Chain A
């Protein structure tokens, strides 16, 4: 499976600020996804990052809050905008390979 890296691995941010998370894959992939895992919870899909077009957001997530870029088939970014303590979560990117999805190491975000 592809090797997936994320930056930063963790960050502590002040409310009202924004953080951009990067996801890099070592091979070209068609499908990339962004998930959120709140403390003690399971994974919730935020959006599908589409190369060359706008991301497809799941119910409850909007582009103004979570803008996503996908400039090519190996890279994507997720921005968490105007953060509040409720945004404290682990953010994970994943890639589709065949019928399966594989996850990056995640970004642990704490908002004070």
Chain B
């Protein structure tokens, strides 16, 4: 059974700090990895995708992938109160944009 695991949180960080969100997955054949941000009462918004080992940076966000350890993380630098949301990790067995399995999400709280 495919599983994607996240710590539910809440993860509380002070404004300006680095928030580190982690995700592990069970299927070693997974090929595509995504981070979605979901504000309360809103739908998920794609913020990062990563397909190969290493780091991928986009503004204040850095996604890190380690396929050997079956581990993907999201770092948010200079965290802002507006980053307070639930972050969902999603994993796919292919690169076709389908077959997504979602983790339970980590709730992030950035305190001013």
Using a CB–CB cutoff of 8 Å, the interface residues on chain A facing chain B are 1, 31, 33, 41-45, 48, 90, 92, 96-106
Shortest beta-carbon distance from B72 to chain A in Å: 15
Question: Of the candidates B42, B95, B103, which one forms a contact with A99 in the assembled complex, judged by CB atoms under 8 Å apart?
Answer: B95
User: Is B102 an interface residue when CB atoms closer than 8 A count as contact?
Assistant: yes
Contacts of A90 in B (CB 8 A): 43
Instruction: Judge whether A106 and B43 touch: CB under 8 Å.
Output: yes
Q: CA–CA, A101 to B105, complex, Å?
A: 17
Contacts of A43 in B (CB 8 A): 44, 88, 102
B-side interface residues, number (CB < 8 Å): 21
User: Is B112 an interface residue when CB atoms closer than 8 A count as contact?
Assistant: no
Question: Of the candidates A31, A33, A42, A97, which one forms a contact with B88 in the assembled complex, judged by CB atoms under 8 Å apart?
Answer: A42
A-B contact list, 12 entries, CB within 8 Å: A42-B103, A43-B88, A45-B100, A48-B98, A90-B43, A92-B44, A98-B97, A99-B49, A99-B95, A100-B49, A101-B90, A101-B97
**Nearest 4 Cβ contacts at the A-B interface:** A96-B97, A103-B43, A43-B102, A106-B43
Contacts of A103 in B (CB 8 A): 36, 43-45
Using a CB–CB cutoff of 8 Å, the interface residues on chain B facing chain A are 32, 34, 36, 42-46, 49, 51, 88, 90, 95-98, 100, 102-105
Contacts of A33 in B (CB 8 A): 98
Q: CA–CA, A46 to B90, complex, Å?
A: 16
Closest residue of chain A to B101 (Cβ to Cβ) is A45
Closest residue of chain A to B32 (Cβ to Cβ) is A99
Instruction: Judge whether A42 and B102 touch: CB under 8 Å.
Output: yes
Q: CA–CA, A31 to B42, complex, Å?
A: 22
Contacts of B36 in A (CB 8 A): 103
Question: Of the candidates A31, A92, A101, which one forms a contact with B46 in the assembled complex, judged by CB atoms under 8 Å apart?
Answer: A101
Which of A44, A97, A103 counts the most B-chain CB atoms under 10 A from its CB? A103
Contacts of B100 in A (CB 8 A): 45, 101
Closest residue of chain B to A93 (Cβ to Cβ) is B43
Instruction: Judge whether A105 and B34 touch: CB under 8 Å.
Output: no
- Known contacts: A31-B97, A33-B98, A101-B97. The answer to whether A42 contacts B104 by CB under 8 A is yes
